[in-house]
Amino acid sequence: MSESAQISVFGVSETGNVREENQDAIYYSDASDTSEKQTGFLFGIADGMGGFANGSIASKAALETLFETYEEIGKSVTKQKMKVAIQNANLRVYQEARRLAAGRMGTTLTCVHISGSEMMIGHVGDTRAYLVRNNTIQCLTNDHTRVAELIRMNLLPPEKARTHSQRSVLDRCLGIGLFVQPDIFTVKAFEDDIILLCSDGVWAVIEDDELLRMTLEVQNISQLPRVIIDKALELQSDDNVSCMAIHLQKLGSSAKKHAGEEVKSIFSKLFDVVRKEKLV
């Protein structure tokens, strides 16, 4: 008899100290639906572009469409199907802007689909996905910004990614055109992995090493997003701040554990979210 996956997710999204509206959004699969356990689990974060109209509408519309398409996909989730889901989200935002006569509407989108021992990441913009494993942290996504591109071309030092005046200027996002080219890739998943999804209002003021330290020191993973958000606000983030922590406690019978690592018995309610709303 196959074992079910046990995955916990906790998330916080707040307006922050400066902005008047929260243009970030987070969304996640419903673990109470047994059909989700057969198709895998999906998690997403989006950051509506503050310089454009209706950023909050854009971020929520993108995530709603992504998840609606995901539900129609069925049991098999491939890179091509993930691309279609993100393209549908892009088209929805584009059409909403036209319907509302709101000018241009844009949003980032970063999502993680987990099935068995595989993580599939879809990404557009500068929201980030981090992987914490074996006491190390790795940023899995590349920022689609002008500054990041200059850094990749060795024209700017990496430390400028957080402080440059044009840090938030995107060169790729959802909603600006009829088509978008997302980054889609897979990563091997292991039990006890932690994935962090963060908006740029968080990672712009908190270094990767500090994110790792907080993740390792927090007593309960359910507290982690709150701890990270509070730190970002303490460091005077000037943007909306959102963070989701996904803990892969058990991946099911098809997934292998870290070699030589003892299985841990962790009892927690699946998908007990810090903020009760599904869409923040």
What pTM, to 2 d.p., does this model score?
0.85
Statement: residue 260 has pLDDT above 70? no
Give the domain ranges of the chain: 6-250
Task: Supply φ then ψ for residue 187, to 5 degrees.
Answer: -135, 140
Statement: residue 245 has pLDDT above 90? yes
- Tell me what pLDDT residue 189 has: 96
Pairwise pLDDT comparison (145 vs 280), residue with the higher score: 145
What is the Rg, in whole angstroms, of the alpha carbon atoms belonging to the chain?
Answer: 18
- Tell me what pLDDT residue 165 has: 66
CA distances from 220 to 76, 157, 226 (A): 33, 36, 11
Statement: residue 280 has pLDDT above 70? no
- Tell me what pLDDT residue 100 has: 86
Statement: residue 214 has pLDDT above 60? yes
Could you give the count of Cα atoms lying within 13 Å of 219 in the half-sphere of its Cβ? 0
What share of the chain in percent tops pLDDT 70?
Answer: 82
pLDDT-derived band at 255, boundaries 50, 70, 90: very low
Statement: residue 268 has pLDDT above 50? no
What order do you get walking across the sheet with 194-198 strand by strand?
A: 6-14, 241-250, 194-198, 128-133, 136-139
C-alpha closest to that of 124 among 183, 187, 49:
183
Question: At how many degrees (to 10) do helices 224-234 and 208-217 cross?
Answer: 140
Arithmetic mean of pLDDT, 237-254? 87
CA distances from 208 to 24, 57, 132, 174, 204 (A): 21, 30, 10, 26, 10
Lowest-confidence region among 6-20, 163-177, 180-194, 255-269: 255-269
| Secondary structure element (H or E) that encloses residue 154, with its range | none
| Amino acid sitting at position 222 | S
Judge residue 148's burial from the number of C-beta atoms within 10 Å of its C-beta, 0-12 exposed, 13-18 middle, 19 or more buried.
buried
Class of domain 6-250: alpha beta
C-alpha closest to that of 239 among 45, 49, 39:
49
CA distances from 248 to 115, 132, 193, 194 (A): 11, 11, 5, 6
- Tell me what pLDDT residue 38 has: 59
Taking the C-alpha atoms of residue 228 and residue 82, their distance in angstroms, rounded to an integer, is 29
Taking the C-alpha atoms of residue 185 and residue 98, their distance in angstroms, rounded to an integer, is 31
C-alpha closest to that of 271 among 15, 31, 4:
31
Statement: residue 263 has pLDDT above 50? no
pLDDT digit string, tens, across residues 130-187: 999 999 999 999 999 888 777 778 787 777 777 776 767 788 999 999 999 999 999 9
Q: Which two tokens stand for residue 173?
A: 């996002």
Alpha carbon 107 to chain centroid, angstroms:
13
Location of structure tokens 């963070």 = 243
Arithmetic mean of pLDDT, 247-267? 49
Q: Is 103 helix (H, G, I), strand (E, B) or coil?
A: coil
Arithmetic mean of pLDDT, 104-115? 93
pLDDT-derived band at 226, boundaries 50, 70, 90: very high
